[in-house]
Amino acid sequence: MQISINDILSTLYYSREAIEYLFAKKDNVSISQLKSETQLSEEMYHRLKSLEIVYEYENTVVLNDSVIALFEDILQIGEVTPGVIADYILEVKRYISFYQETHHYRFISPIKKYLRRLDKAITREIIKLQKSIDDTYKNESNYRIKLRRLEEYREKRDTLISSIYTLQELLSQNRSTLSISGDAQLYQIIQTLRQNLLENLDYLIEIQTDITDYINKIQYQLDIYQKAQQIKELKDQGLLHFSTNFNEVVANLNPIRFNGHKPPRTKIAIDTLYTDIGQQLCQKIAEKYKVSQLRYRTSAGQLSFNINEKLLDHQILIDNQKLVEKFLQQKEKDLFQFILNYKFPKEVGTLTLDQKLSLFVEILVQYEKQLHFSYRINYITVTDEENRTRKIGYTIIPPQKEKIKQSS
């Protein structure tokens, strides 16, 4: 069958979803799985097979290795293959010897081609090497495999370095031969290559440090594990505190976590407490600690008449509801007497006579429906805080009991 590049490209394009899936999964993809996951038609599947883009082994499908290699090369991923470099160098050597023999220009072109390829390939291999080393150190979960793979990368690195030396030597040995050709482009390619080779050598030395560092880190951890087992043995024998300086070491550990430091807590800003959120917070706290006196009053509108300004401060702290409840529970005093003689909590402090009067009026307005008005006026003489004698008339609000008496 005659295969054209166009055929391959269009087949790859139309089945790109399947190709991508196969490239990501690599192995263990069954034919039915591939067809259902990627909606690959039967016809297209046969086309892929006939072009040898995919192979079929015992009901599993794999991508052709050269397709995988193509993607990996372009994406600069996959396994490091320093052998490619050696192959290219051999090719360069071959064509140089042909040129030396014939001095024919047609051998210059392949030399240029392979030198260019070498330049790209060496850089690519080094990038792949670095990626693979990092990936192995970070993601390989089995430490033995991890160590072995790192050792393998060390060998690959050595192969790359020796390839670079070989190439450098080859270039300097044949300098005169190559310069005779008078090809400006070749000269340019060699110059760039030389420069890149030097840079790549530096990079490879850095990689070597990385590998050693990684291997030492793993080895360090393994050594510590061995020591941990010894210490554990002593612990099991009850000797931990006597045969080691465990206590001393632990005493000197300074992370705050192990020294009982709690994270710092900041206090809420007073301004925040005056906002809606703050009010909700206050209510929650008041409920939690059962601080009924601290309940924040939301509607000041209930005080519809001119009331002593100073009292407002206290009213925030006085829970009128509780006061009324207490009043209703007792039997001796009427409301005004009750308020007059009531021992307010410490937070509220001492109320002046005027404040008590205001409170009385406020309660009357607020709890009009719950209270039982007797419609009788009582006059009393009281001495206020400035030692003035004042005669006050007020309406008698008896507690519930009297109301029952009245109704009976």
Partner 1 sequence: MNIEDLELPRQTHEIFNILARGQFISSNGTKDGMSRLYDVLNDPQNFEKLQSYFGVLKYKIEKGNNYFYFSKINEPPSITEKKLETFEKYIDIIDLFASLDNKITIGARVRPSEIAEECNANVRLKQKLAKIPLYRSENFLNKIREICQMLDRDSFFELEDEASETYKVLDAYGYLLEVINAITIFGQPPSPEHTITNPPDIDIDINPN
57: DSSP letter: E
Q: Does 238 bind partner 1 (CB under 8 A)?
A: no
Region near partner 1 per CB under 8 A, out of 16-24, 42-50, 74-82, 136-144: 136-144
Q: What is the Cα–Cα distance from 339 to 394, expressed in whole angstroms?
A: 12
What is the maximal distance between C-alpha atoms in the chain?
A: 140
Nearest CB to partner 1, comparing residues 257 and 391: 257
| Residue in 31, 218, 281, 316 binding partner 1, rule: CB under 8 A | 218
- CA triplet 108, 114, 118: central angle to 5 degrees? 140
Please report how close the Cβ of residue 203 comes to partner 1 at its closest, in angstroms: 22
| Residue in 5, 24, 184, 253 binding partner 1, rule: CB under 8 A | 253
Please report how close the Cβ of residue 94 comes to partner 1 at its closest, in angstroms: 38
Q: Kindly write out the interface string for residues 261-300 of this chain, putting x where it contacts partner 1 by CB under 8 A and - elsewhere.
A: x-xx------------------------------------
151: DSSP letter: H
128: DSSP letter: H
Element (H, E) at 7: helix 5-14
| Residue in 28, 252, 304, 407 binding partner 1, rule: CB under 8 A | 252
Question: Which candidate, 38, 50, 203, 218, places its Cα nearest to that of 146?
Answer: 218
Q: Does 237 bind partner 1 (CB under 8 A)?
A: no
C-alpha dist (Å) from residue 211 to 123, 125, 154, 162, 221: 18, 16, 7, 18, 16
| Residue in 55, 220, 274, 373 binding partner 1, rule: CB under 8 A | 220
Please report how close the Cβ of residue 240 comes to partner 1 at its closest, in angstroms: 7
Strand segments, DSSP code E, in 19-116 are 29-30, 54-57, 60-63
Interacting positions 80-119 with partner 1 (CB under 8 A): none
Please report how close the Cβ of residue 207 comes to partner 1 at its closest, in angstroms: 17
| Gap between the terminal Cα atoms of the chain | 119
Binding residues (CB under 8 A) for partner 1: these are 137-139, 141-144, 146-148, 151, 212-213, 215-232, 234-236, 240, 243-247, 249-261, 263-264
